[in-house]
A and B are shown apart, each in its own frame.
Chain A
């Protein structure tokens, strides 16, 4: 009886917390999951486990103005299963969710890495950024929220920022 009331109390608390979460945030999570599922289907492989924990840790180290980091890493994927660029890009644009606009694309001929960066407005003050980076044997999907100053840095220097995110981490997030 005591155990049941504890569970009930937790469920009530959780439902109260969820009430206060913006609906769009939940929708954003859903979009991210959907995108991860689609990339999983392409590669016939699930992302590395404990991504939630990694994202949580990553959030502790994000630069100023970056928050809500979510990521999924696919390791040891076969490049044979990677779709052709044009096909992948068009299907990606159908998947990334409404409002996301293609912003920067980076292609590295040495590593075969292709990075697609999308941005969209979130609420009245913030912006969401989605980075999909695919190498020959690895793929990374990252979604994060940027404040106006952080997005401004991107708009001011899109070429170098795009290049940095392809080499290292998105929006300065270590990878």
Chain B
């Protein structure tokens, strides 16, 4: 091997390493899917006394939009006409403390930075309720791709996954509807975070 060939090999190795690093920092297109895999919550389902799954995908959302004809529905209609789906998983437990943060890890693991960022984290000490809101934005920082809400109460856990572009300003019009919990006046998280730190 002469010196020129050696240089070429080193350059090729550097390019390859660079490409691998870029690949690691820029998630592939398939990873930009805002639909969470909520099927892997079966261990949690075994602990729950009752599990409710709501599936409002594109076609059902279209049906829903047909009867949103009131003046009050305008903003909600604006949101849902662009959505691909709203998926809700609700767990009800017999007693408080029958599930832990570790049980919700399967969801938190999917809400990783840089695509997902936590915009709201609120805790009600009185009612023991914790609400977290996550947003998924594409790597180029364009329109919001989806949203996840984790609402944890002592005897109830609700996970909401909204797939599609959402105008956060108008989200309040859907609160309390379609399985989306009432978020009320939640304080934004001090610093957007992708990974949830264990609390509770």
Chain A residues proximal to chain B, CB less than 8 Å:
101-110, 119, 121, 127, 148-149, 151-152, 155-159, 162-163, 166
Contact = CB atoms under 8 A, between A and B. Distances in A.
Interface of B: 45-46, 48-57, 59-60, 63-64, 66-67, 88, 90, 92, 158, 176-179
B51 A107 contact: yes
Contacts of A107: 45, 50-51, 53
A157 B59 CA distance: 18
B179 A159 contact: yes
Contacts, number: 73
A101 B59 contact: yes
Given A108-B49, A127-B63, A163-B50, A102 B177 contact: no
22 contacts: A101-B57, A101-B60, A103-B56, A104-B52, A104-B55, A106-B52, A107-B50, A109-B45, A109-B46, A109-B50, A121-B63, A148-B66, A151-B63, A155-B60, A155-B177, A156-B176, A157-B177, A157-B179, A158-B52, A158-B88, A159-B88, A162-B52
Given A109-B46, A155-B177, A156-B177, A104 B53 contact: yes
Given A155-B178, A158-B178, 19 more contacts: A103-B54, A105-B53, A106-B50, A106-B51, A108-B49, A108-B50, A109-B45, A109-B48, A109-B49, A121-B63, A127-B63, A148-B66, A151-B67, A155-B64, A157-B177, A159-B88, A159-B158, A162-B52, A163-B92
